[in-house]
């Protein structure tokens, strides 16, 4: 196996192909047929069938009349991943205990490369269908949670992460598209104490977010964010939500860690 690695050969091609297949289904807007999957994987139908049979037996994918889609086991694994972290386990209780956040749609995201990946959400008693589905990604440069996480880095580290010539997709007409604009946005977030996304990732939605101090050294960078309808996002409410998020972040800090707030 060591020789295989040195030669650049894949030590477990079936596993690699299975991961690629799961990725294709995760990116698909609906079920994919065996023919489509085989074409995208560059494999014979017989080989793709064997992969699908194994993944279906493990609950990782599900066969429907229209084709294959992700199975329930993937949701279980996603939940298990999030539940590893103390802050996510306590997140729901902290939201319910907050007079402000208990009625808001609050989400937890982590920084994964240049993206914010959404892991958990508290719907809130007055919540509406806003926010980002669990397991979804948004460019960190455009989302409030992503900006809260990037604001924890220096400008030099942000530039190294995203690239000096980085550009960002215009998800709405308000989206920033350049690194220089992002650095200005991050500077404002640091001064304010929370990050803002004013209809830059979704039309009609304003996001407010703060970063969490890690509970343990091995924890990934996490952020809390609230999604508000733009018509209801008056300055006083944004300020109120920003303050509540900072309080929640303090409650979700390990009192024995170096990052514990006074």
Most confident stretch, 5-19, 123-137, 147-161 = 147-161
For the entire predicted model, the pTM comes to 0.71
Predicted local confidence at residue 247, as pLDDT = 92
The rounded distance, in Å, linking the Cα atoms of 17 and 186 is 39
pLDDT tens by residue, 60-101: 888 999 999 888 787 767 776 666 666 777 888 889 899 999
Q: Three-state SS for 106?
A: strand
What stretch of H or E contains 139? strand 137-139
**Inter-residue contact 186 to 179 (CB < 8 Å):** no
User: Cα dihedral sign for 101, 240, 215, 163?
Assistant: positive
Based on C-alpha coordinates, what's the Rg of the chain? 21
**For the chain, percent of residues with pLDDT exceeding 70:** 87
Q: Three-state SS for 219?
A: coil
pLDDT tens by residue, 219-237: 788 899 999 999 889 999 9
Tokens of 212: 């969490």
């Amino acid at each position: 196996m060591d020789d295989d690695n040195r030669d650049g050969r894949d030590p477990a091609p079936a596993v690699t192909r299975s991961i690629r297949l799961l990725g294709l289904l995760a990116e698909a807007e609906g079920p994919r047929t065996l023919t489509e999957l085989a074409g995208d994987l560059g494999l014979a139908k017989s080989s793709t069938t064997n992969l699908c049979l194994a993944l279906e037996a493990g609950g990782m994918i599900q066969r429907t009349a229209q084709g294959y889609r992700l199975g329930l086991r993937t949701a279980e694994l996603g939940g298990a991943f999030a539940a590893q972290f103390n802050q996510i386990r306590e997140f729901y209780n902290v939201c319910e205990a907050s007079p402000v956040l208990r009625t808001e749609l609050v989400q937890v995201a982590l920084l994964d490369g240049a993206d914010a990946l959404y892991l958990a959400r508290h719907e809130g008693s007055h919540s509406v269908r806003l926010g980002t589905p669990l397991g979804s990604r948004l460019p960190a440069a455009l989302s409030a949670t992503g900006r809260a996480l990037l604001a924890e880095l220096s400008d030099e580290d942000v530039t190294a992460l995203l690239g000096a010539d980085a550009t960002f997709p215009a998800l709405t007409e308000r989206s920033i598209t350049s690194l220089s604009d992002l650095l200005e946005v991050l500077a404002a977030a640091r001064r304010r104490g929370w990050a803002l996304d004013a209809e830059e990732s979704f039309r009609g939605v304003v996001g407010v977010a703060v970063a969490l101090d890690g509970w343990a050294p091995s924890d990934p960078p996490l952020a809390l964010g609230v999604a508000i309808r733009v018509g209801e996002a008056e300055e006083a409410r944004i300020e109120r939500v920003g303050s509540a998020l900072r309080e929640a972040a303090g409650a979700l800090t390990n009192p024995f860690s170096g990052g514990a707030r006074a």
